[in-house]
Structure 1
Amino acid sequence: MSSRDDLQTRLERGIAALGLRLPEGAVQRLLDYQVLLARWNATYNLTAIRDPAEMVSRHLVDSLAVLPYVQGETLADLGTGPGLPGIPLAIAAPGRQVLLVDSNGKKVRFLREAIRALKLDNVRAVQSRVEGVEGQFDCVTARAFASLGDMLDWGGHLLARDGIWLAMKGRHPQEELAGVPAGFEVRAIHALAVPEVGGERHLVVVGRAPGQAGC
């Protein structure tokens, strides 16, 4: 079992490899989140990853890899599960208002406990299907949530006129690009190098097509 010092070293190494600088205290809060996730996971099976070191790399560092692409003052994380990437992103940028959305009751109970325990004043969690969420956000994130077409069909109304949608994918989603619905366009696809995580990682950046206002 990795000690907290070992996990902190692994996390700090990942943050440095990504070229990020986080606010004071963020590393400890991220580790507190990992401890809470591991504790709840033993009972509620929130994630298939159980090894603490793997949680640091595959959950915390993987989430932080998209931080340079996040923009604006409001963010909605759809299909967030146990808060990924939303909670790490909220810890890394505490001035941004973050809404965590999931339809699974036990995961939302965990999210609310994490928000309380970690004192994440900038974060709210809602139990809802994506279609039922209201509001518009400068940035929308989704991690392995659904195909590009489905996620935009279900949640496209949440994207502000000048907002960006960040879809976290494994392999390059070439076969999904044709399914992007009218009114949206793929702006970029970035290959992400996530330290100590094998396999491909890609980030698809989507925006509203020119002339398309927010719903």
Structure 2
Amino acid sequence: MSIWADPLRTRLTTGIDILKLDLPDATVDQLMAYLMELERWNNAYNLTAVRDLQAMVDRHLLDSLSLLPVLAPALAAPGARLLDVGSGPGLPGLILAIVYPELPVTVLDSNGKKARFLRHAVRTLGLSRVTVAETRVEAWVPPEPYTLVTSRAFSALADFFALTRHLLAPGGQWAAMKGKLEKEELAAVPADITIREPLRLRVPGLDEARHLLLAHPT
């Protein structure tokens, strides 16, 4: 890793400490390698509007890692399978795959440029349990359903639940990342879906609303 990247690693490890996560150095190395690949590809393919590397650490890496205090039990459970819908450049799906390299993860995005980056990142980082699905979510037919389906501002909640219901395993749950919560969006969720009390996420380096909503069919 180049010397110029050292402050970025320090920013990342400081955020990891604030989140009270215990991640090995090898995992931090992988996260930094992902960041470098994203920055390189973003210059050519405009994968994310965030250009500043420090902001990428906060808005992409730490934002995704902020899920772990809540989702760790589900991700580490026997038989766990994760689908990340509208993954973009792999957020949070690839970040969670780096932390849990044995977890079967599918990152799904219909955008060709983003899917090409996802395949490149999977090869470069050696993420052997990750599948890249370049398709619309309603057309995706996996070999097995998923115990956890995530999204990061993919769509309105009601649409997210409707489009992915066929992909959720019995007893599985949805985990939707949101910024500011709108009462109208929550009110539009079908009555046969139970949403737990929204959880406020504290993301190091970000002074803005971030929430996680856990839900399951009733």
Letter matched to residue 175 of structure 1: E
How far residue 15 of structure 1 moved from its aligned partner, in angstroms, is: 0.7
Kindly report which structure 2 residues correspond to 1:186-201, keeping only aligned pairs within 5 A, or say none: 186-201=195-210
How far residue 94 of structure 1 moved from its aligned partner, in angstroms, is: 1.4
Structure 2's unaligned 5+ residue stretches are none
2:123 maps to: 116
1:203 equivalent to 2:204? Answer no
Q: 1:75 aligns with which of 78, 82, 91?
A: 82
Distance of 2:176 and 2:170 partners within structure 1: 17
1:213 maps to: none
The number of equivalent residue pairs is 208
Distance of 1:43 and 1:202 partners within structure 2: 31
How far residue 188 of structure 1 moved from its aligned partner, in angstroms, is: 2.7
SS of 2:48's partner is coil
Kindly report which structure 2 residues correspond to 1:52-91, keeping only aligned pairs within 5 A, or say none: 52-70=53-71, 71=74, 72=77, 73-91=80-98
Distance of 1:125 and 1:56 partners within structure 2: 23
SS of 1:21's partner is coil
1:146 maps to: 155
Structure 1's unaligned 5+ residue stretches are 210-215
Give the aligned CA root-mean-square deviation in angstroms.
1.3
Letter matched to residue 154 of structure 2: F
When structure 1 is superposed on structure 2, of 38-47 and 177-186 the one drifting more is 177-186
Kindly report which structure 2 residues correspond to 1:91-102, keeping only aligned pairs within 5 A, or say none: 91-102=98-109
Deviations 1:63-119 (A, max 9, x none): 010123321421000000000000111111112110000000110000000000000
Distance of 2:119 and 2:182 partners within structure 1: 32
1:19 maps to: 20
2:31 maps to: 30
CA contact (8 A) 1:115 1:121 kept: yes
Distance of 1:119 and 1:42 partners within structure 2: 23
Moved over 2 A (4+): 172-175
How far residue 8 of structure 1 moved from its aligned partner, in angstroms, is: 0.6
Which structure features the higher share of helix residues? 2
How far residue 181 of structure 1 moved from its aligned partner, in angstroms, is: 2.4
SS of 1:89's partner is helix
How far residue 120 of structure 1 moved from its aligned partner, in angstroms, is: 0.5
SS of 2:205's partner is coil
Distance of 1:87 and 1:198 partners within structure 2: 24
Q: 2:139 aligns with which of 132, 138, 146?
A: 132
Question: Could you state the TM-score of these two structures normalised by the residue count of structure 1?
Answer: 0.93
